């Protein structure tokens, strides 16, 4: 941490023209936060696994046989079409048959795991795999580690659009193609491969290592992670795991290559960005029923007209709620502080003062304008009217009209706030059209109440409200678990041969979507969502030509392997105050 990369003397004036200047710079330059004494974004000390007699993780990048074996394993996993749709609700239904094949494949590919560790099935298709320490080693009460991934994949829209058939698992020597290759059978196969490798070396852990694989993450996870979570909580207790690592995050990236940077020079700083929180979510389902009849004798507003008025007003009134905010505890603030410190030549020249300002809204808006929609929606709530159905015939008045509006809730807000705003906007429209209305909350597994009756009736259903996830701590001074996690990540990626000489800065980010960790909040305060692929190596998630660079898969395995080793014997003490170079055995 002493070899900080200092800003080279580029004139800030020359940069000003390249960046979007906030609409009212004095707003964010005006006030300055006096509480700036604490060092911003110090690098974590590198953590290299203690001498434990185990082979080095670098082997994964050096051994051609390992590469070929991983390509084969991942390819075979991709070949089993474990697709889920939102209508699949019964794990015993024939539609889930592929998951049984998938389990058979895993048993073939990972014989040691299946003979030496505990493999449990939950709700038929969920998997919990536990490697326990020998009984006598158990007395130190170290918390277990939890690694998760999901077995399911999203459906294919049109297979003929794909360069290689989506379930062929084609390997071209660099990329492995197919549905699930990067979301997230690469993680699942990587985790199992690492455990199999450890067992092959006769390793026994000093704390339990648990893998949990849900099977419906892509349709919210209630069947898989939703039934795994209570079992793990019962077994290990509240906050019973040292950390949880799931898929997600922004992988590893540089600022120099990002779209808002116009500087062409080599960027020696790599940002490793695990997600340490998730936005909340809620669907509002609007179900309207009105009297039908012949369309030659219509009312002034048909049901379609009334529903349109509702959607129009949701999109055009009370919009304050959809503005960005960058409060003092928002993880993106930490990430931006890291960029200011470690990549000063690549950030907007006004960014340091924006971060010092206590006008969180103005700073957030300036950043959102400069960085684009991807960043904007990490800082604010969003609203999207996604479904609108009504009417059956051109000469019949519509009787049943349904719409669904999807909200993602910013960290500074709650689903309740979003729900109350919608009710306020809808109330006068209900009154104006002399409708009755009802409101109900359901969980995603319940059936939606479809409005019916002779008069006009609007049923509002609030579907599966989810609060923003608690923010996992990322202060290396006060969170030894984070310091150790980040120290392992830094050590692993700085040792990857193609990244030699680069500095890896590890910072928390937030997800605009959700993962299976939504069910795991009780299990640990330290939840990280991170598929650790470099830019351009995990491509086209959820769409045509999904693929992963085999190097990204192998680097992910290095991380899993060294995290297990880096935490296994750790007794909670802070990282020693020295940076040791990797010792490869």
- The contact set with ligand NAG (CB under 6 A) reads 229-230, 233, 434, 455, 519, 522
Using the minimum distance from each CB to ligand NAG, give the nearer residue, 298 or 455. 455
Both tokens assigned to 282: 């809620």
User: How many CA atoms, within 13 angstroms, populate the side-chain half-sphere of residue 144?
Assistant: 21
**Binding site partner of 414, from ligand NAG, Zn ion, none, Cβ cut-off 5-8 A by kind:** none
Choices 13-21, 176-184, 232-240, 519-527; region in contact with Zn ion by CB under 5 A:
176-184
Sign of the dihedral defined by the CA atoms of residues 101, 102, 105, 106, in that order = negative
Using the minimum distance from each CB to ligand NAG, give the nearer residue, 22 or 221. 221
Using the minimum distance from each CB to Zn ion, give the nearer residue, 183 or 555. 183
Q: Work out the angle between the directed axes of helices 97-109 and 64-78 (0-180°, nearest 10).
A: 160
User: CB of residue 71 vs ligand NAG: minimum separation in angstroms?
Assistant: 37
User: CB of residue 316 vs Zn ion: minimum separation in angstroms?
Assistant: 34
Does 516 bind Zn ion (CB under 5 A)? Our answer is no
User: CB of residue 233 vs ligand NAG: minimum separation in angstroms?
Assistant: 6
User: CB of residue 514 vs ligand NAG: minimum separation in angstroms?
Assistant: 13
Using the minimum distance from each CB to Zn ion, give the nearer residue, 279 or 342. 279
Residues 238-277 that bind Zn ion (CB under 5 A): 247
Q: How far apart are CA 132 and CA 138, in angstroms?
A: 9
Q: Work out the angle between the directed axes of helices 185-200 and 64-78 (0-180°, nearest 10).
A: 130
User: CB of residue 378 vs ligand NAG: minimum separation in angstroms?
Assistant: 24
Q: Establish whether 196 is a catalytic residue.
A: no
**Binding site partner of 449, from Zn ion, ligand NAG, none, Cβ cut-off 5-8 A by kind:** none
The continuous run of DSSP H or E covering 427 comes out as helix 415-432
**Binding site partner of 434, from ligand NAG, Zn ion, none, Cβ cut-off 5-8 A by kind:** ligand NAG
Q: How far apart are CA 283 and CA 443, in angstroms?
A: 11
**Binding site partner of 184, from ligand NAG, Zn ion, none, Cβ cut-off 5-8 A by kind:** Zn ion
User: CB of residue 84 vs Zn ion: minimum separation in angstroms?
Assistant: 11
User: CB of residue 60 vs ligand NAG: minimum separation in angstroms?
Assistant: 34
Does 41 bind Zn ion (CB under 5 A)? Our answer is no
Local structure of residue 271 (DSSP, 8 states): E
Q: How far apart are CA 117 and CA 107, in angstroms?
A: 12
User: CB of residue 454 vs ligand NAG: minimum separation in angstroms?
Assistant: 9
Does 546 bind Zn ion (CB under 5 A)? Our answer is no
Strand order in the sheet with 547-549: 175-177, 547-549, 538-539
Bridge-based pairing state of the strands 126-131 and 118-122: antiparallel
Using the minimum distance from each CB to ligand NAG, give the nearer residue, 233 or 535. 233
Does 278 bind Zn ion (CB under 5 A)? Our answer is no
Both tokens assigned to 526: 């330290």
Instruction: Annotate each residue in 104-143 with x if it binds Zn ion (CB under 5 A) or - if it does not, as one string.
Output: ----------------------------------------
**Binding site partner of 183, from Zn ion, ligand NAG, none, Cβ cut-off 5-8 A by kind:** Zn ion
User: CB of residue 436 vs ligand NAG: minimum separation in angstroms?
Assistant: 8
Helical segments of 138-178, H only: none
Q: How far apart are CA 111 and CA 96, in angstroms?
A: 24
Count of residues near Zn ion by CB under 5 A: 3
Using the minimum distance from each CB to Zn ion, give the nearer residue, 183 or 197. 183
Could you tell me if residue 141 is left (phi over 0), alpha (psi between -120 and 50 degrees) or otherwise beta?
left
Which residue from 565, 540, 545, 550 is spatially nearest to 73, judged by alpha carbons? 550
From 152, 216, 218, 246, the catalytic residue: 152
User: CB of residue 520 vs ligand NAG: minimum separation in angstroms?
Assistant: 7
From 197, 216, 217, 278, the catalytic residue: 217
Residue with tokens 């494949």: 105
CB atoms within 10 A of CB 309: 15
Which distant-in-sequence residues (6+ apart) come within 8 Å of 320 by Cβ?
none
Quick check: helix, strand or coil at residue 495?
A: helix
Using the minimum distance from each CB to ligand NAG, give the nearer residue, 123 or 522. 522
**Binding site partner of 60, from ligand NAG, Zn ion, none, Cβ cut-off 5-8 A by kind:** none
Using the minimum distance from each CB to ligand NAG, give the nearer residue, 455 or 536. 455
Encode 368-409 in three state secondary structure.
HHHHCHHHHHHHCCEEEEEEEEECCCCCECCCEEEEEEEEEE
Which residue from 160, 249, 337, 265 is spatially nearest to 513, judged by alpha carbons? 249
CA dihedral (106, 109, 114, 115) in degrees, to 10, reads: 160
Does 184 bind Zn ion (CB under 5 A)? Our answer is yes
**Binding site partner of 168, from Zn ion, ligand NAG, none, Cβ cut-off 5-8 A by kind:** none
**Binding site partner of 345, from ligand NAG, Zn ion, none, Cβ cut-off 5-8 A by kind:** none
Does 183 bind Zn ion (CB under 5 A)? Our answer is yes
Which distant-in-sequence residues (6+ apart) come within 8 Å of 225 by Cβ?
126, 148, 150, 212, 214, 217, 516, 517, 518, 519, 520
**Binding site partner of 135, from Zn ion, ligand NAG, none, Cβ cut-off 5-8 A by kind:** none
Q: Establish whether 152 is a catalytic residue.
A: yes
**Binding site partner of 519, from Zn ion, ligand NAG, none, Cβ cut-off 5-8 A by kind:** ligand NAG
Residues 369-408 that bind Zn ion (CB under 5 A): none
Q: How far apart are CA 14 and CA 12, in angstroms?
A: 5
Using the minimum distance from each CB to Zn ion, give the nearer residue, 191 or 326. 191
Does 365 bind Zn ion (CB under 5 A)? Our answer is no
Bridge-based pairing state of the strands 436-442 and 457-466: parallel
8 Å CB contact between 465 and 414: no
Using the minimum distance from each CB to Zn ion, give the nearer residue, 225 or 269. 225
Q: What residues are labeled active site?
A: 152, 217
**Interface positions with Zn ion (CB under 5 A):** 183-184, 247
């Amino acid at each position: 941490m002493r070899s900080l990369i200092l800003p080279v003397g580029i004139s800030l004036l020359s940069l000003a023209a390249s960046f979007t200047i906030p609409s009212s710079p004095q707003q964010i330059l005006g006030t300055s936060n006096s509480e700036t004494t604490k060092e911003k974004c110090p690098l974590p000390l590198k953590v290299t696994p203690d001498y434990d007699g185990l082979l080095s993780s670098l082997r994964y990048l050096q051994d051609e046989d390992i590469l070929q074996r991983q390509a084969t394993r991942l390819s075979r996993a991709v070949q089993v079409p474990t697709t889920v749709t939102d209508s699949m609700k019964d794990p015993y239904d024939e539609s889930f048959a592929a998951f049984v094949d998938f389990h058979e494949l895993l048993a073939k590919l990972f014989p040691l795991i299946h003979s030496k560790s505990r493999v449990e099935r939950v709700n038929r298709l969920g998997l919990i795999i536990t490697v326990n320490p020998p009984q006598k080693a158990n007395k130190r009460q170290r918390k277990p580690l939890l690694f998760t991934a999901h077995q399911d994949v999203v459906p294919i829209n049109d297979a003929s659009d794909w360069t290689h058939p989506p379930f062929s698992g084609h390997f071209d020597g660099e990329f492995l193609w197919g549905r699930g290759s990067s979301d997230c059978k690469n993680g699942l196969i990587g985790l199992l491969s690492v455990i199999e490798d450890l067992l092959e070396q006769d390793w026994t852990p000093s704390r339990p290592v648990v893998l949990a694989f849900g099977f419906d993450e892509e349709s919210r996870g209630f069947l898989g992670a939703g039934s795994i979570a209570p079992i793990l909580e019962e077994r290990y207790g509240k906050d019973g795991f040292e950390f949880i690592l799931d898929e997600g995050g922004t992988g590893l990236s540089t600022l120099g290559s990002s779209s808002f940077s116009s500087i062409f020079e080599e960027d020696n700083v790599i940002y490793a960005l695990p997600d340490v929180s998730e936005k909340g979510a809620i669907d509002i389902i609007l179900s309207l029923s009105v009297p039908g009849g012949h369309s030659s004798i219509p009312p002034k507003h048909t049901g379609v007209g009334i529903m349109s008025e509702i959607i129009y007003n949701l999109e055009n009134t009370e919009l304050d709620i959809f503005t960005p905010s960058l409060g003092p505890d928002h993880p993106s603030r930490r990430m931006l502080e890291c960029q200011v410190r470690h990549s000063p030549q690549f950030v907007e020249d006004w960014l340091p003062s924006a971060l010092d300002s206590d006008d969180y809204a103005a700073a957030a808006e300036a950043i959102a304008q400069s960085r684009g929609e991807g960043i904007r929606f990490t800082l604010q709530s969003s609203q999207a009217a996604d479904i609108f159905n009504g009417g059956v015939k051109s000469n019949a008045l519509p009787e049943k009209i349904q719409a669904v509006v999807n909200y993602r809730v910013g960290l500074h807000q709650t689903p309740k706030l979003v729900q109350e705003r919608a009710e306020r906007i809808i109330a006068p429209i209900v009154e104006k059209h002399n409708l009755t209305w009802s409101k109900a909350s359901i969980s995603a597994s319940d059936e939606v109440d479809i409005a019916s009756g002779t008069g006009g009736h609007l049923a509002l259903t609030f579907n599966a409200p989810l609060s923003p996830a608690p923010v996992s701590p990322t202060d290396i001074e006060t969170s030894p678990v984070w310091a150790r996690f980040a120290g392992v990540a830094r050590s692993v990626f700085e040792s990857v041969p193609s990244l030699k000489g680069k500095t890896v800065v590890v910072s928390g980010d937030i997800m605009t979507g959700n993962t299976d960790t939504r069910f795991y909040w009780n299990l640990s305060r330290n939840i990280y969502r991170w598929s650790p692929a470099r830019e351009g190596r995990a491509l086209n998630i959820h769409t045509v030509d999904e693929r992963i660079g085999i190097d990204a898969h192998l680097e992910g395995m290095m991380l899993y392997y060294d995290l297990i080793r880096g935490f296994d014997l750790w007794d909670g003490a802070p990282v020693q105050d020295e940076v040791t170079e990797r010792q490869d055995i």
